[in-house]
Structure 1
């Protein structure tokens, strides 16, 4: 219901977050425990949160999103928070969803649980990815393109956990993993 503000203009309780019919159109990455797209997912999600004026539901310098005290404002805040929480749920895999869902959780609680999962394990994930990157061989793939794509994907994941791979190292690993048919290269 619109109400008149001090300047005499009409305000509405309608919020731009409530107009998002499909979050997957804006956050096109599915975050999972088995992929390291956390930084990309965060970048897409926070950009969308800024554009719909809900960033304070996921990131707050004080660590707690302020809840309004009046009834109507509190109801709208809870509706928007539930909407943003649903966005998170819709952009993560089922395995991750089972890990982060908690009853009566706010969006910020869920956001922080996801952050902790991905950033607290950064070093161990880097070791695992590094091991896999170092052992990529073309013999394990149907063609050279698939092998190169896997190396690129692993290099991107290593970058996301704070262990970037140089282009030179990427090329050297690609060459060292070539099958016997390419040994003349």
Structure 2
């Protein structure tokens, strides 16, 4: 009975971001504002906006437990997958680096 369930997070339920962000961000054909707004709406609706737009100073909620840290890391990977899936191959090659954070990407 003392066993806790893994935390459910809405971001982990969306397998196809391209259906919700149908714009591919490219270096040549710039649709950044459209892409960014669609991406922001998607992130907000899946409760991961704080992974791409930092919270105001003093409002940050750093992970406190091992479980929260694990969920945070999983969400970082999920949001990175969303970014990488919605940008062009050329742009991907310019931002893809080991251990990149979502804000850096």
Q: TM-score range by the shorter chain?
A: 0.7 to 0.9
Distance 2:19 2:62 in 1: 28
Give the ranges of 4+ consecutive aligned residues of structure 1 lying more than 2 Å apart after TM superposition: none
Q: What is the number of equivalent residue pairs in this alignment?
A: 100
- Map of 1:46 onto structure 2: 40
Q: What is the Cα deviation at residue 36 of structure 1?
A: 1.1
Q: What is the Cα deviation at residue 107 of structure 1?
A: 0.7
Which has the higher Rg, Structure 1 or Structure 2? Answer: 1
- Map of 2:83 onto structure 1: 88
- Map of 1:99 onto structure 2: 94
For residues 18-57 of structure 1, what are the structure 2 equivalents within 5 Å? 18-57=12-51
> SS where residue 107 of structure 1 aligns?
coil
Distance 1:32 1:89 in 2: 12
Higher relative contact order (CA 8 A, sep 6+): 2
Can you list the C-alpha shifts for 1:13-55, whole angstroms capped at 9, x where unaligned?
Answer: 0100000010101100000111110000001000001100000
Can you list the C-alpha shifts for 1:56-76, whole angstroms capped at 9, x where unaligned?
Answer: 00001459x754132110000
For residues 1-185 of structure 1, what are the structure 2 equivalents within 5 Å? 1-2=4-5, 13-61=7-55, 67-110=62-105
Cα 1:33–1:17 shift into 2, 3 Å:
same
Instruction: Name the structure with the higher helix share.
Output: 1
Cα 1:41–1:25 shift into 2, 3 Å:
same
Distance 2:95 2:83 in 1: 10
> What TM-score results when the alignment is normalised by the length of structure 2?
0.88
Question: Which ranges of structure 2 fall in alignment gaps of 5 or more residues?
Answer: none
> What TM-score results when the alignment is normalised by the length of structure 1?
0.51
Distance 2:37 2:90 in 1: 21
Can you list the C-alpha shifts for 1:149-177, whole angstroms capped at 9, x where unaligned?
Answer: xxxxxxxxxxxxxxxxxxxxxxxxxxxxx
